[in-house]
Structure 1
């Protein structure tokens, strides 16, 4: 059984934080009581889930760091590891540290401290987040500043959009996403995303795939509330798209493609309704959670010319109250020749995952071609 994700903020992280913060306090002339921090940090930690652990460790920092924010920020900056790539080994380390300082998940409580206590000293707080995001991410911590000090924050983000560090450039996009997972919703940007658009234009062709993926996710956030803005974005940026930009724009449009948004599908050349016949069959009419089902789809074109098709499928999952809710899964993007008959197969897993709870009952699979339903099949799910 894999180690619970929450243990990435476990006792070893608390010990590493205590050690490096004590060292940094001594180097900067600021007292830090490592023994008290460990006692506060470990008290009740095991019973908490991931995000609550970060907040709990931050509360321990509040009772042990210097009361002056600038001094506290200086100690935390001094406890950070040297600059370097944030690789999987760092993020997965149960100690939350490298030999020379804190990096990875251990930095999350530090960013939380800045978010809680830096609001009255926003320029100094943003300086601290600039350092911290290069060892983990400050995407959640920067959001209160965007709401409280929008002019300062966007001036800073504009400057950071050309920073030498890809981690800082990613923060420009990720930290200002309207609907960031685990982060507070930025309601003003949900209503009007225009302040972030110049930043996204600047970062859209960034050299780092890490940055470009964030831009795609940011645009996908915007698509949920302003689909026609994304349609206009595609019309502007698709004609001169490099392969890297094209991949970004496809990822940015995934929600609207799954919903069959006509303008977005048309922008990618797959907006026309499928001309032909479709049928889908499942490998079994009954399944148990943990099984896999094979989908066998057959398309028969009746068109006189080739058709470019985006083929997805929606699984209508049963919810706790007995209703169903569709989840769309990616299939294929193909060109079907005039009169061509083609078969497609896909293995669909019913294994439990953290983001989906399966309930027993009749489930339905619906095939979508260019956003329109063309065939369906059903199965009974047992737990």
Structure 2
């Protein structure tokens, strides 16, 4: 069985953090820090552990924020080379890095929002921290409190030698970062981040470009036309790295059959042909799987490029939940036929619980539902 994710913030890591902070500041009350941080830690889940350890930092690091930030910076492991965008961050004898950066960043954010002067000092500390973990969670309260200051800083960071710092410019300002504070002002109007994304769209690091793609995908959820406009501007004659970025940025719109996005990728034409869907077995227990068999027969004489997705409506108390699964993209020759098969697991996962009841499946081709079917989920 895999180690629980929460154990990335372990009691041993707390003790090592105490040792490195003591090295950086001889006046650090290591015993008090460890007692505070370890009290009840093992009963907590991942995010709660990060907040709990941050509470211990607040209780024991200097009240003077500049002093506290200097202590944190001195406790960190050496920064990677500027062109090293690997994710092998971990705490070693050389200093702190990796997941301890989450509570350290939380401490910096809590102190940083107190004043604009504190925010400026916090940004310096996050510039260092993000090269040993990430500052994407910590910078978000600063964006809310001091947007002009932070956006000007992020714009400068788009040309920083470190790929980790350039990534933070995009990742930290994503409107809907998972696990992070939602930036409601940017959900309503993402205009402030557009210059940042433009500066990074052709970044030499795939790590940075993937963040730009995820940022654009966030924007697509609320402002799909903005991403369509990006495709119109940046997709023609795009080299493979930029093309891959734009495809990843389009993924939610493509999965939901957004016609202008489909058209931008040459997938906007309506399917001309027949489609039938068979689902077996008709009844299946939670934890098992059903097999979907889709048969397509083209009626057009010309070939058609098809983007096929599966929309599954799972039962849940009081209604149903909709989940889109990416299917296939291919060219179907004129008058040709093809049979496609896929297994659909009904095993519960962290992000989706399974409930007994009637489920339905829709087959979406180039944005149109062309076939449907259903099955019954039984209690295991």
Q: TM class, shorter-chain normalised?
A: over 0.9
Q: Indicate how the Cα distance of structure 1 residues 253 and 86 shifts in structure 2: closer, same or farther if over 3 A, else same.
A: closer
Q: C-alpha distance in 2, partners of 1:315/1:172?
A: 36
Alignment of 1:134-173 (within 5 A): 134-173=131-170
Residue segments in structure 2 that go unaligned for 5+ positions in a row: none
Report how far residue 284 of structure 1 moved. Answer: 1.4
2:97 matches 1:100: no
More displaced 10-residue stretch of structure 1: 351-360 or 279-288: 279-288
Q: C-alpha distance in 1, partners of 2:307/2:172?
A: 32
Q: Tell me the residue number matched to 2:70.
A: 74
Report how far residue 208 of structure 1 moved. Answer: 1.3
Q: Tell me the residue number matched to 1:304.
A: 301
Q: Tell me the residue number matched to 1:198.
A: 195
Q: Tell me the residue number matched to 1:182.
A: 179
Q: C-alpha distance in 1, partners of 2:270/2:359?
A: 26
Q: Indicate how the Cα distance of structure 1 residues 209 and 60 shifts in structure 2: closer, same or farther if over 3 A, else same.
A: same
Match of 1:83 among 71, 76, 79: 79
2:261 matches 1:264: yes
SS at match of 2:131: coil
Contact 2:11 2:38 in 1 (8 A): yes
CA-based RMSD of the aligned residues comes to 1.3
Contact 1:86 1:136 in 2 (8 A): no
Report how far residue 4 of structure 1 moved. Answer: 1.3
SS at match of 1:102: coil
Q: C-alpha distance in 1, partners of 2:85/2:171?
A: 16
2:120 matches 1:123: yes
Alignment of 1:316-355 (within 5 A): 316-321=313-318, 323-355=319-351
Q: Tell me the residue number matched to 2:15.
A: 15
Instruction: Render the CA deviation track for 1:145-196: whole Å, top value 9, x for unaligned.
Output: 1121111111111110011111111111110011111111111111111111
Contact 1:86 1:135 in 2 (8 A): no
Q: C-alpha distance in 2, partners of 1:72/1:262?
A: 52
Q: Indicate how the Cα distance of structure 1 residues 360 and 88 shifts in structure 2: closer, same or farther if over 3 A, else same.
A: farther
Structure 1 runs (4+) deviating above 6 angstroms are none
Instruction: Render the CA deviation track for 1:207-259: whole Å, top value 9, x for unaligned.
Output: 11111111111101111111111111111111021112111111111111122
How many pairs are equivalent?
373
Q: C-alpha distance in 1, partners of 2:94/2:86?
A: 16
Residue segments in structure 1 that go unaligned for 5+ positions in a row: 91-95
Alignment of 1:224-239 (within 5 A): 224-239=221-236
Please report the TM-score for the alignment, with normalisation by the length of structure 1: 0.95
Q: Tell me the residue number matched to 2:41.
A: 45
2:352 matches 1:365: no
Q: C-alpha distance in 1, partners of 2:160/2:297?
A: 52
Q: Tell me the residue number matched to 1:93.
A: none
Instruction: Render the CA deviation track for 1:319-371: whole Å, top value 9, x for unaligned.
Output: 232x1121001111111111111111222222221111111111111111001
Report how far residue 44 of structure 1 moved. Answer: 1.1
Q: C-alpha distance in 2, partners of 1:107/1:45?
A: 17
SS at match of 1:97: coil
Alignment of 1:237-256 (within 5 A): 237-256=234-253
SS at match of 1:98: coil
SS at match of 1:241: coil
Instruction: Render the CA deviation track for 1:109-165: whole Å, top value 9, x for unaligned.
Output: 110011000122111110000000111111011011112111111111111001111
Q: Tell me the residue number matched to 2:207.
A: 210
Please report the TM-score for the alignment, with normalisation by the length of structure 2: 0.95
